[in-house]
């Protein structure tokens, strides 16, 4: 990086500003090896239109700028977001909330309906090794199903921010580069690099990806998408590894890091980075509406 270029980094802090709601509660038909539904248990449940509206409006009144709609998958790897379209429409009419979703696999018709509802964007996990999909997710799918969903989202006019998970194959680097190749068939808003999270009570609770593997995937993503923001997502290991991974990402030239540790913030300050803080999902394009000062009490983990 030239000496005269200002080093910049966006830090994304969700907490109460951009909470996640699970539209399936703690239910998931897949019960993947790395999660077993545990990650859903920590989310606010909103399983019906009435419940979603009520809880989203309450969060809005408390200062939320946006909401991520997520949840468990059915046996085909789909999150039933479309069942809540009436609530999404009402929320967009009543508020200026930014609403985004994790949908899993999605058809062109479903994506178009979500666009018409007022939904702002979709985060979509892309896996490049179909054996990983079978062994970790228990799904028998093809690359075409991933590319069809990506193209369906893009064609609808919704912004799309694909996720690539480092080490999903039991901690090994396998299929991440291929996932980036599949994503290159569209023009994503952001590329989000995440990593396998060790979740207690799951078969993969003791497995962590190597920090050096994040460096490889981030480098490849930046090579393949030189004009697209590459961001380190909020799921990227824990403990000392988290600090190391964030430092690797920062020095690797990512445009943003979600849920950074205090050590990472201090490192960025000490090394002359121009820091902007945003209270939003890291897949979105940063804007003044979601800009914030660094909170006096750091509580985003």
- Model confidence pLDDT, tens digit, residues 14-72: 878 899 999 999 998 887 878 877 788 889 999 999 999 999 999 999 999 999 999 99
pTM above 0.75, yes or no: yes
pLDDT of amino acid 220: 98
Does residue 269 surpass a pLDDT of 90?
yes
Q: Where does residue 251 rank: exposed (0-12), middle (13-18), buried (19+ CB within 10 A)?
A: middle
pLDDT of amino acid 6: 79
Q: Is there a contact between 222 and 272 (Cβ–Cβ < 8 Å)? A: no
User: Pick from 114, 106, 64: which is nearest to 89 by CA?
Assistant: 114
Tell me the C-alpha distance between 190 and 178, whole Å: 17
pLDDT of amino acid 85: 97
Q: What is the arithmetic mean of pLDDT over 275-287?
A: 92
pLDDT of amino acid 299: 45
Q: What is the arithmetic mean of pLDDT over 137-164?
A: 97
Q: Is there a contact between 93 and 61 (Cβ–Cβ < 8 Å)? A: no
Least confident stretch, 11-20, 80-89, 256-265: 11-20
90 phi and psi, to 5 degrees?
-65, -40
Tell me the C-alpha distance between 284 and 280, whole Å: 7
Q: What is the mean pLDDT of the chain?
A: 92
Q: What is the arithmetic mean of pLDDT over 140-167?
A: 97
Token pair of 202 as six digits = 């799951």
Instruction: Identify the helix (H) or strand (E) that includes residue 99.
Output: strand 98-102
* DSSP secondary structure letters along 268-283: HHHTT-EEEEESS-TT
pLDDT of amino acid 4: 53
Q: Is there a contact between 170 and 129 (Cβ–Cβ < 8 Å)? A: no
Q: How many angstroms separate the first and last alpha carbons of the chain?
A: 31
Among 31-35, 168-172, 288-292, top mean pLDDT goes to 168-172
Least confident stretch, 125-134, 154-163, 238-247: 238-247
* Radius of gyration from C-alpha coordinates of the chain: 18
Q: pLDDT band at residue 201, thresholds of 50, 70 and 90?
A: confident
Q: pLDDT band at residue 278, thresholds of 50, 70 and 90?
A: very high
Give percent of the chain with pLDDT exceeding 90: 80
pLDDT of amino acid 281: 92
* Structural domains for the chain: 8-292 (3.20.20.70)
Tell me the C-alpha distance between 171 and 100, whole Å: 29
238 phi and psi, to 5 degrees?
-150, 175
User: Pick from 279, 277, 281: which is nearest to 120 by CA?
Assistant: 281
Q: Is there a contact between 229 and 256 (Cβ–Cβ < 8 Å)? A: yes
Instruction: Identify the helix (H) or strand (E) that includes residue 265.
Output: helix 262-270
Q: Is there a contact between 28 and 37 (Cβ–Cβ < 8 Å)? A: yes
Q: pLDDT band at residue 102, thresholds of 50, 70 and 90?
A: very high
């Amino acid at each position: 990086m030239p000496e005269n270029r200002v080093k910049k980094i966006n830090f994304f802090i969700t907490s109460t500003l951009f909470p996640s709601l699970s539209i399936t509660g703690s239910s998931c038909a897949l019960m993947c090896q790395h999660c077993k539904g545990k990650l859903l248990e920590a989310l606010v449940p909103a399983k019906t239109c009435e419940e979603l509206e009520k809880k989203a409006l309450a969060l809005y009144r408390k200062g939320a700028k946006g909401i991520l709609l997520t949840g468990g998958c059915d046996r085909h790897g789909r999150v039933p977001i479309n069942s809540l379209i009436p609530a999404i429409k009402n929320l967009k009419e009543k508020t200026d909330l930014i609403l985004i979703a994790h949908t899993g696999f999605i058809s062109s018709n479903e994506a178009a309906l979500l666009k018409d509802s007022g939904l702002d964007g979709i985060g979509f996990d892309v896996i490049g090794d179909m054996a990983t999909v079978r062994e970790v997710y228990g799904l028998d799918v093809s690359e075409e199903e991933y590319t069809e969903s990506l193209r369906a989202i893009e064609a609808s006019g919704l912004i799309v921010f694909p996720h690539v998970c480092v080490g999903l194959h039991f901690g090994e680097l396998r299929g991440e580069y291929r996932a980036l190749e599949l994503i290159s068939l569209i023009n994503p808003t952001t590329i989000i690099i995440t990593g396998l999270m060790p979740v207690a009570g799951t078969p993969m609770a003791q497995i962590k990806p190597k920090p050096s593997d994040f460096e490889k995937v981030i480098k490849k993503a930046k090579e393949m998408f030189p004009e697209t923001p590459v961001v380190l997502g909020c799921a990227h290991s824990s403990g000392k590894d988290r600090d190391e991974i964030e430092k690797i990402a920062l020095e690797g030239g990512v445009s943003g890091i979600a849920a950074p540790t205090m050590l990472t913030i201090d490192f960025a300050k000490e090394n002359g980075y121009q820091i902007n803080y945003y209270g939003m999902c890291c897949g979105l394009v940063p804007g003044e509406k979601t800009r914030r000062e660094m909170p006096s009490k750091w509580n985003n983990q």
